[in-house]
Amino acid sequence: MRVVTKIVPRYQETDKMGVIHHSVYPVWYECGRGDFCRALGMPFPEIEKRGLAQALVELNVRYHRPAYYGDELELVTRLTGMTGVRLIFTYELRNQNGELVNSGQTTLAWLDDKLRPLNIKKRHPDIYGLLLAAIDAGCE
């Protein structure tokens, strides 16, 4: 599954170099991840109601070219790997000219509501199954 999120840069997200500040991309990734889970019928608030949380354990970002205020960006979010305890999402952000602006990957761990590690495959096989069906195989 590929989920597309439209991103309109905010003026507050610019910095004095005149471009979108590098710390904003992980926030946009999180928006993409939220849209992905929503598209899967499992929005974050639903996940939390079931006593679950996802915490970042690793973040990797590559900056290919700057994004600017006034751009109209498209973020593609895919689930590219998972185990019972981990999820890997991969992101690609392109501008209105189709140019690759930014790409990245996040690894998340499943936690319970006390923020303790948890195996989703064992404890919530329905969620595990939903995600498994959404993996975008054959990509990096």
Q: How far is residue 124 from each of residues 35, 40, 131, measured CA to CA in Å?
A: 21, 15, 11
Q: How many residues bind its own copies (CB under 8 A)?
A: 36
14 is a contact residue toward its own copies (CB under 8 A) = yes
The phi-psi region of residue 52 (left if phi > 0; otherwise alpha if psi is between -120 and 50; otherwise beta) is: beta
Options 4, 59, 100, 133; binder of its own copies; rule CB under 8 A = 59
Segment contacting its own copies by CB under 8 A, of 15-23, 79-87, 88-96, 122-130: 15-23
Q: Which of 1, 2, 4, 27 binds its own copies (CB under 8 A)?
A: 27
Identity of the residue, 26 or 81, whose beta carbon is nearer to its own copies in the bound complex:
26
Q: Is residue 91 a contact partner of residue 105, using CB atoms and an 8 Å limit?
A: yes
Would you say 11 or 138 has its CB closer to its own copies?
Answer: 11
Binders of its own copies among residues 97 to 116 (CB under 8 A) are 115
Q: Is 70 in the site for its own copies (CB under 8 A)?
A: yes
Among 1, 2, 4, 45, binds its own copies (CB under 8 A): 45
Nearest Cα neighbor of 26 from 106, 108, 107, 139 is 106
Sign for the pseudo-dihedral over CA of 22, 11, 2, 97: negative
Which residues, at least 6 apart from 16, have a Cβ–Cβ distance to it below 8 Å?
none
Q: Is 85 in the site for its own copies (CB under 8 A)?
A: no
